[in-house]
Structure 1
Amino acid sequence: MSEIAEDALAEVLRNACLSAGFDPSDADLMRIGENAIYRLPGGIVVRISRPRQEVAASREVAVARWMEGAGVEAVRVAPGIEQPMDVDGRAVTFWRELPPHRRGTRVQAAEALRKLHRLAPPAGFDLAKVAPFVRLEGRIEGARFLPDDDRRWMREHLARLRERWEGLPNGLPWCVIHGDAWVGNVVVADDGRVILLDLERASIGPPEWDLVHTAIKLSSFGWITAEQYGEFCAVYGYDVTTWDGFELLRDIREFRMTTMAVQAGTTDPRWREQAGHRLACIRRGSGRPWPGWEALG
């Protein structure tokens, strides 16, 4: 992230905080990824989206409020603020800071997903259907550091995935899903509560979409053992790899993860080697589990 980009984010933060009645002078930048996240004194966290993401931010706020009313442990919206705010084309939202916590485990993620997937959809607003290909075109077009051949292949691969999605086999009944259910979006408070994070991709969709996150950690990357994956399946009560649609969701997830690395490499050259490695793996297609995939951060 360049100093110019950070300065622009700081200006968005300042304007949003002043509008909401907060003092931004002591804001602490926690991280910059899909969103820029700042901590304010007094237990408030500010999320600044990438440009033109107000619809996703609005949905995340609505989902968080619905989950709070339904008794689901998840991140909580800061009360008394009309949000999201649109500041210079970016959606800004305000959240309560999490209590002292630690990262969740795969088993805890499985239990949280099992409970979420059993909920009746919200009645107070329309929770859209899952959007498996959201933002992918923009990530590809923005990756000017990639050779033209790579970007051409990515466009063609995206078209093939879209076509395959139209023939998604029947599986478990569609329900409320988290939409980005990797274990990093689950934390455990010191009092034992398991809390869901990052709700902007919550939607109505196949529960398998949430489950495939953990499955590919074994089958695609070898990040977990077969025993660890078995524990996840035992708690949730289902093994997504036995479903006819698994390979399609696996391929989409692998591609999404590759475009995330491409997006990171667009603004930070340190991630360009990782982006190229991921792209080479999915272009090859065979040889799973693939070594060398590193977490972005």
Structure 2
Amino acid sequence: MTPPVPIPGGFEKSEMYQVLEEACAIAGFDSADAHLLRGQTNAVIRLGRVPVVVKIARKGSRIEDVSRTVQFVRELMSVGFPTVPLLDIDQPVVVGQHAATFWTYLPQPERPVDAAQLAKPLYALHTLTPRPLQLPKHDNIRAIRRSLSAITSVSASGLRFLQARADCLEEKLREVTFALPEGVIQGDPQHRNALHTADGGAVLCDWDTVTVGQPEWDLVTIEVHCRRFGYGQPHYQAFADTYGFDIVRWPGYTTLAAIRELRMVTTNARKTGHAPGSLAEVERRIEGLRRNDTTSRWNLL
């Protein structure tokens, strides 16, 4: 049996396209011939007649959070930071309780951005001064517990394991002494949250998770993605060498890597209610965590 297709941004497709049509009408664009690019979290849609991407915030997102993201990106653009550009229109565009934002479309080659290409933009973000606007504090444990409270599809034993692991890692985190100064962090930097530019560079995108916190969280996220999704250790090492800090050699690495992986697992476990086809992969990852398996490859969800 074919696994169910994940619902884009928590919307049924007909509902998503209705929101798109109304948002485009407000912004002065034609939504004809649009097609979905991504739908795992937000619904990301390429307009067919102009080089514009529309991002419809995940169903249930707070409009004020999307407004803060718009303000943040505009401040980045004002200082020439390497980000995907927002269009210069009144944003976000609100349709009912749903917020849409409009971005410049950047054509992409088949290959994703290399980890090393993320190093300089991330370093620039981590050392950004003065910090733009008031951002929330980064808190992975809180995010994990929020996901745990919303999981409905994982087995009871699996859920108990995840809860116990969160308790254990929260205790271990209290013993970690961070090495880098606190700064603005992207929150989920990875190959799919950056885009190639025409001049061979890369820009960051997907700013929904931007917070104030320890840069080590961003650095360990890159390492986890290189290790778990098949990019390999040399790919990660090129990133570390370019950034100038190797998270693997830092004493707190093991704890942060375990917490970051647990957050990834619990986030995807929460979404299995809308994407039941991903449950088998989530259960496989949980079993790997039970065995303290840190090397097996994960499939993208």
| Alpha-carbon distance between aligned partners in 2 of 1:152 and 1:129, rounded to the nearest angstrom | 27
Note the C-alpha offset of 1:137: 4.3
Partner of 1:118: 127
Partner of 1:130: 138
Is the 1:142–1:266 Cα contact (8 Å) retained in structure 2?
A: no
Does residue 13 in structure 1 map to residue 20 in structure 2?
A: yes
Which of 194, 206, 230 is the equivalent residue of 2:237? 230
1:168/1:7 Cα in 2 relative to 1: closer, same or farther (>3 Å)?
Answer: farther
How far is the alpha carbon of 1:210 from its aligned partner?
1.0
Residue 206 of structure 1: how far off its partner (Å): 1.0
Q: 2:224 corresponds to which residue?
A: 216
How far residue 119 of structure 1 moved from its aligned partner, in angstroms, is 1.8
Post-superposition Cα deviations, 1:133-158, rounded to whole Å, max 9, x if no partner, equal 46544543443222223223333433
Structure 2 residue aligned with 1:34? 41
Change (3 A) 1:54 1:156: farther
Q: Residue 255 of structure 1 aligns with which residue?
A: 262
Cα deviation digits, residues 191-216 of structure 1 (max 9, x gap): 22321111111222111111102222
Q: CA deviation at 1:184?
A: 2.1
CA 1:12–1:167 in structure 2 vs 1: closer, same or farther (change >3 Å)? farther
Distance 1:152 1:203, change over 3 A: same
Alignment check: 8 A CA contact 1:59 1:200 kept: no
Structure 1 residue ranges without an equivalent (≥5): none
Partner of 1:108: 117
Displacement after TM superposition at 1:64 (Å): 1.2
One-letter identity of the residue aligned with 1:107 = A
Paired amino acid for 1:210: D
Task: Kindly indicate whether structure 1 or structure 2 has the higher relative contact order, using CA contacts under 8 Å at least 6 residues apart.
Answer: 2
Change in CA separation of 1:99 and 1:64 when aligned onto 2, cut-off 3 Å:
farther
In 2, Cα distance between equivalents of 1:57 and 1:157:
32
Task: State the distance in 2 between where 1:162 and 1:46 align.
Answer: 37
* Match among 271, 282, 296 for residue 275 of structure 1: 282
Whether 2:77 is the aligned partner of 1:68: answer yes
> Where does 1:21-60 land on structure 2 (aligned, <5 Å)?
21-40=28-47, 41-50=49-58, 51-60=60-69
The aligned counterpart of 1:148 is 156
Which range is displaced more, 153-162 or 207-216?
153-162
Q: Secondary structure of the residue that 2:102 maps to in structure 1? A: strand
Displacement, 1:231? 2.0
After superposition, give the CA deviation of every residue in 1:105-136 in whole Å (9 maximum; x if it has no partner). 1111122222322321335x212222324654
Shifted more, 95-104 versus 58-67: the winner is 95-104
Consecutive unaligned residues in structure 2, runs of 5 or more: 1-5
Partner residue of 2:195? 187
The residue aligned with 2:97 is 89
CA contact (8 A) 1:73 1:196 kept: yes
Aligned residue identity for 1:287: D
**Aligned-pair distance for 1:264?**
4.2
TM-score (norm 2): 0.85
Assess if the C-alpha contact under 8 Å between 2:106 and 2:196 holds in 1: no
Number of residue pairs aligned between Structure 1 and Structure 2: 291
Contact preservation (8 Å) 2:117, 2:201: no
